[in-house]
Amino acid sequence: MKLGLVIDLDTCVGCHACAVACKQWNTSGTSGPLSDYDPYGSKPSGVWFNRIRHYEVDDYPNNKTINAPMSCMHCEDAACVTVCPTGASYKRPEDGIVLIDQDKCMGCNYCSWACPYGARELDQESGTMKKCTLCVDRIYDENLPESERQPVCVLTCPSHARFFGDFDDPDSEVSKQVRQRSGYSMMPEQGYNPTNKYLPPRQQPAVETHKPRQVSREEHAAEDKPMAQIQRWIAQQLKRQA
Amino acid sequence: MHPAISVICFTLFSGAGYGLISFLCLDDMFDLNFTLSGSGRVWLVGVALVLITVGLLASTLHLANPRNAWRAFFRFRTSWLSREGVFAVLLYPVALFWLLTLWSSDAGGSKILAALTFCLAIATLFSTGMIYACLKTIRQWNTALTPTNYILLGFMLGSLILVASGAGNVTIAVGMVGAAALGKLIYYYWIGQPAGPTINSALGFTRATVRLLDVGHGEGNFLTDEFGYEVAKAKLIWLRVISIVFGFLMPVALLLIFGASAGIPAMVSGFSGVFVERWLFFAEARHVVNLYHGSQST
Amino acid sequence: MSSQLPEFEDHSAQTVKTTTCYMCACRCGIKVTLEGEKIRFIQGNPDHPINKGVLCAKGNAGIMKQMSPAKLTQPLIRKKGAERGSGEFEPISWEDAIELLTDRLRHIRATDPKKLAYFTGRDQMQALTGFWASQFGTINWSAHGGFCSVNMAAGGLYMIGQSFWEFGDPDWEHAKYFMMWGVAEDHASNPIKIGIEKLKRRGAKFVSINPVRTGYQAVADEWIGIKPGTDGLLALSFAHVLLKNDLFDKDFLLRYTNSPQLVICAPGEANDGLLLRADAADENSETQVWSLKSQSIQPWSDIDCEPALFGEYQTADGVTVKTAMTLLAERYLKEEYAPHNIAPQIGVDAETIERLALEMAHVAFRETIEIDTPWTDWAGREHKSFVGRPVAMHAMRGVSAHSNGFQTCRAIHLVQVLLGAIDCPGGHLAKPPFPRHLPPPIKPARDMAPNTPLSGPPLGFPTAPEDLAIDANGEPLRIDKAYSWEAPIANHGLMHMVIKNAVNEDPYAIDTLMLFMANMAWNSSMNTAETQGMLCQKGEDGEYKIPFIVTCDAFNSEMVQYSDLVLPDTTYLERFDTISLLDRPISEPHFACDSIRQPILTPDRDVRPWQEVMLDVGARLGFPALVTDDGKPKYKGYQDFIINWEKSPGIGFLAGYRGEHGEKSLVGEPNQNQWQDYIDNGCFFEYEIPAHQRYYRFANKDYLQWAKSVGFNAHDGPIVMELYSETLQKFRLAGQGLYDGPQPKSEADKQRLVDYFDPMPFWYLPLEQQRVSETEYPFFAVNQRPMFMYHSWDSQNAWLRQIMSQNYLYMNRQRGESLGFADLQWVWVESHNGKIKVQLKLMEGVNSDTVWTWNAIAKQRGAWGLGADAPESSKGFLMNHLIAETLPSDDPTENKSNSDPVTGQAAWYDLRVKISHAEVTDAEVAQQSMPQFDTLKPLPGQEPSASVLRYSAGKQVNLKRSFKDTIMRGFK
Ligand SMILES: Nc1nc2c(c(=O)[nH]1)N[C@H]1C(S)=C(S)[C@@H](COP(=O)(O)OP(=O)(O)OC[C@H]3O[C@@H](n4cnc5c(=O)[nH]c(N)nc54)[C@H](O)[C@@H]3O)O[C@H]1N2
Ligand SMILES: Nc1nc2c(c(=O)[nH]1)N[C@H]1C(S)=C(S)[C@@H](COP(=O)(O)OP(=O)(O)OC[C@H]3O[C@@H](n4cnc5c(=O)[nH]c(N)nc54)[C@H](O)[C@@H]3O)O[C@H]1N2
Ligand code: SF4
Ligand code: SF4
Ligand code: SF4
Ligand code: SF4
Ligand code: SF4
Ligand SMILES: [Mo]
């Protein structure tokens, strides 16, 4: 199994729901609490597994706004794992989820240096590195209804811009989306082979325009164009009548 | 990258220590007679070990959860940080045995132990370099020049300590400084070349300008604190000059003009120059995550 | 494999309860998982009709609202002798507080009930607060609609019998073309997101008209970066193109609108512009059409007469009449509405305007859809299917928050009607109880007497000058001057004028101002700094101009600080609530819905739900509806009241589970188990409308009959859309001095009626912009709702404020650079009303004549449990300082509100500003926004805010990696 997320940049409105849902679930989840520092002061900050950034592509007036949610990509060649000296960081062979064993981490930050995607954040209070767990504490929880065994960011996304599934299964929703919509990886040249994929904004759908009416020469020349037009309609409705 | 003082001290002191001990090993192995006497040599090995230890201790200050530091030896198979730790720790017993043999005989210690110590010191220095060099995320580190410079700078400081202690060889020291300076200059040239990912490839929009609109968190966070460190261009140049002047030009000038009698000022100058160089090594490194925070390139 | 995993969650220690979110007014259904007394998780309820399981950022941050250090903890009273606004409070017991309040109110009620002004902000129980006010006997009540979006409500209710806002929805399931006008987030926060995704996945085109490109606009297929305030022109230009090219749905117009009805053309006469009626003396008699069949005038209801859509005719007594459609066509076919003529004014090129109109026409008429469900119209005509013109639209505050918003909203509805895209598959669908007849048959209350309830609700829908709330001299009866000549169709009141009018004693002085859930001392007032001054203003007698201010809030808002009596409310997780069909409905187009809240947590503070307090006070005051004949409270409390109170027989606050055993829907006797029935159903009720009643409901016989039977509408006749508004014409006649009834006296009032009460949609320059120099103030200034914050509520939220704690002023990059501005520099922003210092950000996606910011991020120092150095107060800013509640004028006695002249809707977005470099020498001040305010004092009993939070509901179960794996594994 190769579990991960697909994020559709065509429908993501950048609402931050997934980011807050992630914070909410995970602060009481397997690697919680996710500490918040100076929460009511001048520099509020804290540990998040998922952050939404907003970009603009091209210049006004051809600009397009892109909202880009980013969490751990559960890379196949995850250097964050190989560089970890304690072995706290690991990739689960059975499903590819990259995790941090909170009991083993020594808080050296090294893995966060190795991650190109900013997916790892140190929790100053516990002294350990934390990151997206792909909601491992939900997706296998048989006490939850089947439909809820999903990452919370996926469950909560109001514009259904997030999909979760097994990329090894060609028939899974994620595989299909990636195939049909030319899903791509961010910063592929880093060579990490991220599992998570992004769907680019679709091409603008072509809508035909109704052909503008050909205006007759007389009509065009008419002093009072509205009246000419209305007279035409009156004539038409009488004709229809006849 | 945020330049953490603990990490700078680690690479500075441990680097110097490994450089120094390497020279002492070579001295012993090949009877080069850098040192005046056996006791002097013992004393210097002690200094090297102290430097190494101070550096290693400093590095643990960097850990947010040092209680688990002992686990750092377990991932020797993949992690340069683990390897560095293993080599660093292995060096102690070997070096202590060697020290014992040195101490017990005036003529010199066990050549085999000296060779082993030498290998471990080089391996540790190399591993330290590789800790940084293996990171594809930081273009300025991801080069063979990184371990090369680590080793050269370690040797340079080692050779300066030797001269400062009244031993050593001015010519070798000047040579080491020159080699290190050359390595560093090549490095500066190399990182000046544009390369690496851009904000376009980071986001996958390659056909037009991409600009950050909003980073999605109002104040700083771990990522911006750790990776977002930025120094004004003018200040960088100024610091480079300082590091080159104090690190390389001054020691060479002092040694060439005043000979071994300027060993101590040359060493102090070298250390301070390399301290700035270490600081710059972090401050000038641009992690690719900055692309997501709005940098156009790294 | 899962067997190898530890048991992460201790489900045995967890309970799950449903309720309704109130992190905003969208009212999503939530499931709250509790672990002991702590919230483990708040998630969307997948069965809920509104959000279908999803939750927004705010909804997901409910835990941090519950953790907020700004929660009020006990009733407070201003210390004796302390100045109002000085933050000197002392605790008071609930019993004393309620006694004190009741005594005061009892006196007002017994003498002059209008001396109580009761206004509510982002409240979801207007039916209850309105009921309370009418039982009290004061007409001085309204909710926030007047400063929010009454333009949209009125625009729709007077034209199509439903509206944008919360009364209608795009048909997300079928629309193939979707045009969104001026929406950043809106009340249907999650439903719009769910809908946009559905549309896009289906391949529909999404066009957004908005000066700024963020949020929804980001995912639009086409972005039209219009200049603010000009949407009316764009819509009318669309109408021009459609008419010119003969692309409009004539059958739809003939059948369902008043466009074939005959309008009297008699300039200078009292009946000019009125509809021709069967009996000229009876304004309720039937309207007339020209029958092509009989070549004579016939009643509109004669469906077989083949009415003419166009033409000018003569009545038997020689009066010239034209069909309404003729008047419309005469106007909109004019070249002044041609795309090339309006293009420069709106900042969109002519080809684009024409193309968009033609695209919509193509989708409406060439990509028509059909739903094969037979239905019968009001006249008994059978239709074998529902024909759909799949062009949907949605519009909100980008349209409504302008003083031309009412007519602009009408212009947009005009385009929808021309396309035949109202309540049809793929078009704009009404949400029950809408559509309603035009307008709903409720008149604003007027007559007040001591100790007597009003005869009806304070707010209603005037249809003629006779319905205004004015006295014999034509002076306003209401403190906000709603339903006066200044704002005749102010269906939702003018909350933004209350404080100023009360302080000016214009039209009269009041005694007590009671505010519920309204932050009038800060982000919901125009002219904030001055408003704070007014709240503390004293008369020559040394008494406060507003003698007593009572605030019910749940949090330490700015408003709390300016109050005399503070009554602390519960949070949304701590109380019972009803979200009623009598209020703003939560219905979906094909479901009539309502919902409740139930307490999930027990308050740990001395707080009470405002509902309980209101009912308690009402019973103490002896409200007839709340006491028995012997003066004893009739209801045991809120829950009992909700179950047993009936508006009319069988109809109460909750429509579900009525009847003795909960077996009846919408109408039925009280059910003593109703609350539990709701709880058992996930805290909501939905009634599914049968398939044949789902569309064309304005004319759908079965629907209309059903809607009458459940009390939505007073009768089951057809709902005729009024493209031509006779109501507006009546007011215009009054302005012209031709009306046979009340007429305004002042020239300004007359002129306003003549100018703006046009029976047909039109565009005019927003009022403030008519008085402010465009060259001196070159930029439009607007703001947007951030998706993750609700007005002022969420800066207290430790998670949400990490996303944003400072707002910036955004400007077009190219424009900014051409003026020498740099990213993040501090600038002065100046309007005719004031000057603020703010930090600038340059961006691509904004119209180059427009600057904007996020709404309500800024806070007064010390409020909301935040530290005094919080960026919200030191760097954030409110646009409100620049916005005046009255129009700029050379005449200091002129006190005309900065509102839509028809509806009184506050014109937040008419603002124009100039921007200059901020020259600052003192580095510290340089990094601060201006103006800066005093730091508010902590309230008694308020704990200092935490410096670190480590919230967790239970013990963490770590997923361990085995030692063997740690040692043995290689690279993969
Ligand atoms: N998250 C969140 N949701 C909310 C609220 C909140 O505070 N936060 N508030 C609720 C309330 S009370 C309300 S009233 C609604 C309001 O919801 P919206 O109608 O979405 O209101 P605004 O955020 O004011 O957005 C107005 C939009 O119109 C654009 N605009 C401004 N002027 C013009 C114009 O002249 N023409 C056009 N075409 N566009 C223009 C602005 O750029 C902005 O995008 O939201 C409700 N929902
Ligand atoms: N510049 C500018 N100003 C604007 C607007 C704009 O677009 N631009 N928009 C306007 C619009 S549309 C609106 S609707 C208004 C909104 O105006 P308001 O409704 O006045 O504003 P809010 O900030 O939502 O907060 C009202 C109060 O409700 C309190 N509250 C929250 N929850 C509870 C509760 O459970 N119980 C009680 N009793 N109180 C509670 C909060 O603490 C707060 O003090 O703002 C208006 N102001
Ligand atoms: S995204 Fe970063 S943390 Fe996640 S697997 Fe890839 S490298 Fe590791
Ligand atoms: S911070 Fe923790 S997980 Fe990351 S490399 Fe260090 S020990 Fe490993
Ligand atoms: S999968 Fe779970 S942990 Fe990962 S980003 Fe989504 S919610 Fe957060
Ligand atoms: S919840 Fe969905 S729409 Fe909102 S930011 Fe996340 S991915 Fe985007
Ligand atoms: S939109 Fe968000 S805040 Fe509003 S009710 Fe729904 S979940 Fe709650
Ligand atoms: Mo609003």
| Gyration radius from chain C CA atoms | 28
pLDDT, tens digit, for every residue of C161-176? 999 988 999 999 999 9
Q: Which of C844, C848, C861, C968 to mutate against chain A (most A CBs within 10 Å)?
A: C844
Helix, coil or strand: residue C40 = strand
Helix, coil or strand: residue A106 = coil
pLDDT, tens digit, for every residue of C952-962? 999 999 999 99
* Residue owning the nearest CA to atom 4 of ligand 4: A111
For residue C512, list its beta bridge partners. C116, C548
Contact status of A223 with chain C (Cβ, < 8 Å): no
Average pLDDT rounded to a whole number, residues A110-119:
98
Under the banding of pLDDT at 50, 70 and 90, the label for residue C1 is very low
Average pLDDT rounded to a whole number, residues C932-947:
93
- How far, in Å, are A26, C599, C664 from residue C676 at the CA level? 32, 12, 15
Determine the angle formed by the axes of helices C231-244 and C339-346, rounding to 10 degrees: 170
Give yes or no for a cis peptide into C547 (omega within 30° of 0): no
- At residue C478, what is the residue type? R
Under the banding of pLDDT at 50, 70 and 90, the label for residue B36 is low
Q: Could A187 and B288 be called an inter-chain contact, meaning their C-beta atoms sit closer than 8 Å?
A: yes
Q: Is the pLDDT of residue C54 over 50?
A: yes
Q: How far does the CA of residue A52 sit from the closest CA of chain C (Å)?
A: 9
pLDDT, tens digit, for every residue of B56-89? 999 999 999 999 999 999 999 999 999 999 999 9
Q: Which residue has the tokens 């926030």?
A: C144
A118 CA: nearest ligand 3 atom: 2
Helix, coil or strand: residue C877 = coil
d(CA B182, CA B155): 14
Q: Is the pLDDT of residue B106 over 70?
A: no
Q: Is the pLDDT of residue B38 over 90?
A: no
Contact status of C806 with chain B (Cβ, < 8 Å): yes
Q: Is the pLDDT of residue A241 over 80?
A: no
Distance C759 CA to ligand 4 centre (A): 71
Q: Supply C338's token pair.
A: 């041609």
d(CA C33, CA A148): 13
pLDDT of residue C568: 98
Q: Could C803 and B213 be called an inter-chain contact, meaning their C-beta atoms sit closer than 8 Å?
A: no
* Residue owning the nearest CA to atom 7 of ligand 4: A105
Alpha helices in chain B (DSSP H): 5-9, 15-30, 38-61, 80-104, 111-133, 145-164, 170-192, 199-203, 222-227, 233-244, 250-258, 263-283, 289-292
pLDDT of residue B162: 93
- The residue in chain C having the minimum alpha-carbon distance to the alpha carbon of residue A240 is C292
A5 lines ligand 6 (CB under 6 A): no
Q: How many CB atoms lie within 10 A of CB C344?
A: 11
pLDDT, tens digit, for every residue of C781-828? 999 999 999 999 999 999 999 999 999 999 999 999 999 999 999 999
Under the banding of pLDDT at 50, 70 and 90, the label for residue C690 is very high
Contact status of C952 with chain A (Cβ, < 8 Å): yes
- Closest C-alpha among C215, C119, C228 to residue C513: C119
Under the banding of pLDDT at 50, 70 and 90, the label for residue C280 is confident
Q: Residue C313 CA to chain centroid, in angstroms?
A: 42
Alpha helices in C757-812 (DSSP H): 767-771, 800-803
pLDDT, tens digit, for every residue of C94-147? 999 999 999 999 999 999 999 999 999 888 899 999 999 999 999 999 998 888
Element (H, E) at C779: strand C779-784
pLDDT of residue B35: 66
- Half-sphere exposure (Cβ direction) of C876: Cα atoms closer than 13 Å: 27
* Residue owning the nearest CA to atom 17 of ligand 2: C524
Determine the angle formed by the axes of helices B263-283 and B145-164, rounding to 10 degrees: 160
Note the ligand closest to the C-alpha atom of C571.
2
Q: Supply C714's token pair.
A: 């007073």
Percentage of residues in chain C having pLDDT higher than 90:
95
Chain B positions touching A54 (Cβ under 8 A) are: 212-216
pLDDT, tens digit, for every residue of C474-531? 999 999 999 999 999 999 999 999 999 999 999 999 999 999 999 999 999 999 999 9
C552 CA: nearest ligand 2 atom: 38
Average pLDDT rounded to a whole number, residues C852-870:
97
Q: Is the pLDDT of residue B97 over 80?
A: yes
Across the interface, of C804, C967, C970, the residue whose CB is closest to B74 is C967
Q: How far does the CA of residue C944 sit from the closest CA of chain B (Å)?
A: 22
Note the ligand closest to the C-alpha atom of A102.
4
Q: Is the pLDDT of residue C369 over 50?
A: yes
ipTM above 0.90, yes or no: yes
Q: How many CB atoms lie within 10 A of CB C640?
A: 16
d(CA C240, CA C237): 5
Dmax over CA atoms of chain C, in Å, equals 105
pLDDT, tens digit, for every residue of B234-253? 999 999 999 999 999 999 99
pLDDT of residue C2: 43
- Higher-pLDDT residue of C706 and B106 is C706
On average, the pLDDT of chain C sits at: 96
For residue C15, list its beta bridge partners. C34
Give yes or no for a cis peptide into C931 (omega within 30° of 0): yes
* Residue owning the nearest CA to atom 2 of ligand 3: A115
Chain C positions touching B80 (Cβ under 8 A) are: none
d(CA C273, CA C262): 9
The structure's pTM equals 0.97
On average, the pLDDT of chain B sits at: 94
Q: Could C845 and B213 be called an inter-chain contact, meaning their C-beta atoms sit closer than 8 Å?
A: yes
Contact status of C804 with chain B (Cβ, < 8 Å): yes
Q: DSSP assignment, residue C664? A: B
Q: Could B74 and C966 be called an inter-chain contact, meaning their C-beta atoms sit closer than 8 Å?
A: yes
- At residue C89, what is the residue type? F
A159 lines ligand 6 (CB under 6 A): yes
Q: Supply C516's token pair.
A: 């519920």
Q: How many CB atoms lie within 10 A of CB C370?
A: 11
Q: How far does the CA of residue C947 sit from the closest CA of chain A (Å)?
A: 5
Note the ligand closest to the C-alpha atom of A74.
3
With contact defined as beta carbons under 8 Å apart, do C694 and C589 qualify?
Answer: yes
Average pLDDT rounded to a whole number, residues C747-756:
96
C569 lines ligand 2 (CB under 6 A): yes
Q: How many CB atoms lie within 10 A of CB C100?
A: 17
d(CA C130, CA C459): 8
Q: Is the pLDDT of residue A146 over 60?
A: yes
Count interface pairs B-C at CB distance under 8 A. 29
> b/e per residue, B11-41, with b = 16+ CB within 10 A?
bbbbbbbbbbbbbbbebbbeeeebbeebeeb
Q: Is the pLDDT of residue C893 over 90?
A: no
Q: Which of B89, B199, B205 to mutate against chain A (most A CBs within 10 Å)?
A: B205
pLDDT of residue B34: 73
Task: Give residues 54 to 93 of A whose Cβ lies within 8 Å of C.
Answer: 54, 56, 58-61, 63-67, 82, 86-88, 90-91, 93
d(CA C204, CA C222): 12
d(CA C436, CA B242): 80
Distance B291 CA to ligand 6 centre (A): 21
* Residue owning the nearest CA to atom 24 of ligand 2: C791
> b/e per residue, C511-533, with b = 16+ CB within 10 A?
bbbbbbbbbbbbbbbbbbebbbe
Under the banding of pLDDT at 50, 70 and 90, the label for residue B41 is confident
Q: How far does the CA of residue B291 sit from the closest CA of chain A (Å)?
A: 9
Average pLDDT rounded to a whole number, residues C244-270:
96
d(CA C914, CA C844): 20
d(CA C783, CA C829): 14
Count interface pairs A-C at CB distance under 8 A. 313
C226 lines ligand 1 (CB under 6 A): yes
- At residue B62, what is the residue type? H
Under the banding of pLDDT at 50, 70 and 90, the label for residue B168 is confident
**Beta-sheet strand order (sheet of C141-142):** C89-91, C76-78, C565-568, C548-553, C512-516, C116-120, C141-142
Q: Could A15 and C246 be called an inter-chain contact, meaning their C-beta atoms sit closer than 8 Å?
A: no
